[in-house]
Amino acid sequence: MSSTVELADLKHATDVQKVKERIRNVQRMLVEMTSSMGVHLGSSLSCLEIIATLYFLKMRHTPHRPQWKERDRFILSKGHAAPVLYAVLAEAGYFPKEELRTLKRIDSRLQGHPDLKTPGVDAPSGSLGQGISIGIGMAVAAKMRGSRSRVYVLAGDGECDEGQVWESLMTAAHLRLGNLVLIIDRNGWQLDDRTEEVKRKVPLRSKLESFGWETYSINGHDVEKIVEVLDAAERAEQPVAIIAHTKKGKGISFLEDSNKGHKLKLSEEEYLAAIKELEMKAKCA
Amino acid sequence: MRVAFGEGLIEIGGENEDLVVLTADVAKPTHVIGFGERFPHRFLNVGIAEQDMVDVAAGLALSEKVPVAVAFAPFMMRAWEQVRSTISRCSLNVKLVGTHAGLSASDEGASHQSLEDVALMRVLPNMTVVVPGDREEVKEATRAIVESRGPAYMRIGRDEDARFLEEGFRLGRAAVLRDGSDVVVFSNGYLTSEVLKAAEGAPVDAMVVHVPTVKPLDAGAVVSAARRAGAVICVEEHSVIGGLGSAVSELLSAECPVYVRRMGVGDTFGESGTYRELLEKHRLTAPHIREAMVKAAGRRGKR
């Protein structure tokens, strides 16, 4: 009995290790993309571990068959973090990594904000506040089909200013959608300033709880914790909200927890510094 | 109109397992409540939340369902940006139906009247826009948009219950209801019945063409009628800016530049009153249309 548990633990540890390796690949891809085009690097890095854990470990999906009906769905409601979604999809095998170079270029399948043109993108976004509603439609459709398909929505904390977010929070709780998970990337920044300066969000957790969601609060950069909470979410009978505390620009020290990386193109010097830092960290891992 | 729409939905729902109806706390006045009672597992009332409703419909369409989202036409406009950024941008298979359209919410006043919805929906790429006016046509148009692929918007009035069509509705097709050679009137919605009344007994020979599909416009029928008559009037229960009159003018300015008179609600909001009083105030009843026919016929062949 105990050896079975140990084996399972070992497998889990190996899986997590693999996710971490792939996260480093994706970080590198993001820095490469930001060296040639202005992108939302900071808000991409804040939710990297979450998206990577979903695609590389948690979700049931088939990159060779993106339209598989029984797949789990992912909606990037904070569409400006599109670069990290694209890099994760490329790393997962939805399209060649070289294609990342075409990001935001004319005629590219990789639009500035998510679009159905991109293999693996389950929902369009870019205009904030809509992802939870779209996720409700998908979760309802899955229930109607009797499918065990699950729906994950990633929203920004700034995005919670949108009224539609709260409309949809009420709807999902009313429908008791236990197959719907909302993750809020709580990086504390929005376009103009710190979130609490622009419009107060706290107490976010009790707001979500009072709307009828089973709510968790975690460190959004800790892969083990992300897996643990997503496992717990599978046992829920109501929608689950996860407040993932994160740092904008995580992993690149000159961007961390600042609004510099909201949208930027790295200079040659910054690019080299970022790559050097990532390589150092990879060696220490 | 609403009753026919509700009946039509139940009919189609019995045949199409993927049909899902959504509404925003207006199940009773829009008459979709019958569908909800018949198919409760395929019916969603999201409460007073049009933006949420429209995107829930988008999610259903992304999972191969055929959602029909129903609200009062003026409040469907509240979700316009969601329709633009999510549904029309990706050509999702979502059907939107706005009831109480035009001046038909009458006594409720300007907040509840929708005179801009056709313009707002028509400007969106991929969107089909349908304005039926005949009771049976409403049912057929509902079926047609459900069976077609891609996003569609249908607007219907509240109470008026006209019957003027002999042949059925065909998506994208205009119907010549009366032939004539002095002037042609393009119209849609309930007002086509006023136009027909106006044409009977008019001192000029008026052609009447019902144009229930505003987008894609039946360009062939519109141009050939305009060529034959040489003068054009457009009549609709909508702002004169952006609706059927605009669509016809945009086409004819290139293909057959003739005199075009747009009749509708001027650049203004509505107000409370009975439906007939409002039509009269905005000069959308048969006598006013007849008067316009005479004037337009006089402009025939002149630029």
Averaged over successive runs of 10 residues, the pLDDT of chain A (285 residues) comes to 75 92 97 92 96 98 96 98 98 98 97 97 98 98 97 98 98 98 97 96 98 98 97 97 97 91 88 95 88
Structural fold of domain B2-155: Rossmann fold (3.40.50)
- Give the tens place of pLDDT for each residue, B146-171: 999 999 999 999 988 899 999 999 99
CA distance B45 to chain A (A): 9
Output the pLDDT for position A2.
61
CA distance B126 to chain A (A): 15
Is residue B67 within 8 angstroms of chain A, CB to CB?
Answer: yes
Whether B59 sits inside 8 A of A135 (CB atoms) is yes
Nearest by CB: A171 against B46, B62, B65:
B46
B residues 78-137 near A, CB within 8 Å?
Answer: 81-82, 85-86, 89-90
Nearest CA in chain B to A115: B90
- Show residues of chain A in contact with B65, CB under 8 Å: 137, 141, 144
Nearest by CB: A126 against B60, B64, B85:
B85
Output the pLDDT for position A11.
86
Q: Hey, what are B261's tokens?
A: 């008179």
CA distance B71 to chain A (A): 16
Output the pLDDT for position A226.
98
CATH number assigned to the domain covering A2-284: 3.40.50.970
Residue A203 phi, psi (nearest 5) = -85, 105
Output the pLDDT for position A262.
75
Is residue B55 within 8 angstroms of chain A, CB to CB?
Answer: yes
Output the pLDDT for position B114.
98
| Identical topology for domains B2-155 and B175-298 | yes
Whether B41 sits inside 8 A of A144 (CB atoms) is yes
ipTM of the prediction: 0.96
- Give the tens place of pLDDT for each residue, A110-138: 999 999 999 999 999 999 999 999 999 99
Residue spans of the domains in chain B: they are 2-155, 175-298
Output the pLDDT for position B38.
98
Whether B86 sits inside 8 A of A134 (CB atoms) is yes
Output the pLDDT for position B160.
83
DSSP bridge pairs for A218: A244
What is the CATH architecture assignment of B175-298?
A: 3-Layer(aba) Sandwich (3.40)
Whether A140 sits inside 8 A of B49 (CB atoms) is no
A73, A127, A136: best to mutate for the B interface, most B CBs within 10 A: A136
Whether A141 sits inside 8 A of B60 (CB atoms) is yes
Identify the segments of chain B with pLDDT beneath 70.
302-303
- Give the tens place of pLDDT for each residue, A177-222: 999 999 999 999 999 999 999 999 999 999 999 999 999 999 999 9
